[in-house]
């Protein structure tokens, strides 16, 4: 039997937190993604979609709700050259991603108003992000994710 989904707010939902509590949470997510299989699941999903992208092209990936961008960065390992963009609404998370992974394209923005044109990216990736939203919000978000994707959306969540 499944229990009802919790919509209780997490530390990542409080955008006023910009201190060590945020960076500690982002570091913990890196450990979780690395050692509990989150990275591997996302890489497998992205690899499945990349099979549909011509080999001569450098795929573009948008990682939405990227937090500290660690998962985005890990997606670069083992793949052909990828143009990667991380998007997060939390300015502190964006700063952490830029500082931790120099050269990574990081955009401070909202999933509810994606600052990209239609079909801007080959793949859109979301990991450990969608569980923060209600079912009604999820409908809006998923439509938005598909709007900016050319080949597919990879969702890895609880």
Per-residue model confidence as pLDDT tens digits over 58-68: 899 999 988 87
Apex 88 CA angle, 112 and 122, nearest 5: 75
pLDDT given for residue 14 in this prediction? 60
Tokens 């991380």 found at: 86
Residue 66: per-residue pLDDT? 85
Mean pLDDT computed over every residue of the chain? 83
Q: What is the mean pLDDT of residues 21-34?
A: 70
Taking residues 1-8, report their average pLDDT: 59
Indicate the range of 25-39, 81-95, 125-139 predicted with least confidence. Answer: 25-39
pTM more than 0.75: yes
pLDDT at residue 48 in the model? 93
| Of residues 80, 54, 6, 53, the one with CA closest to residue 154 | 53
Q: Predicted confidence band at 3 (pLDDT cuts at 50, 70, 90)? A: low
pLDDT higher than 80, residue 25:
no
> Cα-flanking dihedrals φ and ψ of residue 89, to 5°?
-80, -20
82 has pLDDT over 60? yes
| Mean pLDDT, range 25-49, rounded to an integer | 76
SS3 106: strand
Centroid of chain to Cα 3: 26
Give per-residue pLDDT as tens, 99-116.
888 888 999 999 999 999
Token digits for 84?
Answer: 């990667």
């Amino acid at each position: 039997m499944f229990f009802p989904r919790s919509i209780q707010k997490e530390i990542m939902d409080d955008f006023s937190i910009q201190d060590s509590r945020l960076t500690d949470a982002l570091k913990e997510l890196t450990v979780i993604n690395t050692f509990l299989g989150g990275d591997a699941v996302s890489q497998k999903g992205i690899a499945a979609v990349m099979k549909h992208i011509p080999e001569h092209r450098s795929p573009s990936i948008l990682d939405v709700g990227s937090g500290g961008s660690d998962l985005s960065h890990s997606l670069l390992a083992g793949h052909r050259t990828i143009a990667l963009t991380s998007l997060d609404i939390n300015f502190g998370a964006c700063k952490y991603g830029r500082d931790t992974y120099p050269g990574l394209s990081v955009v401070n923005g909202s999933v509810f108003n994606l600052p990209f044109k239609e079909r801007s990216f080959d793949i859109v990736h979301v990991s450990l992000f969608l569980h923060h939203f209600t079912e009604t919000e999820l409908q809006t978000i998923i439509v938005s994710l598909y709007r900016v994707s050319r080949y597919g959306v990879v969702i890895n969540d609880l």
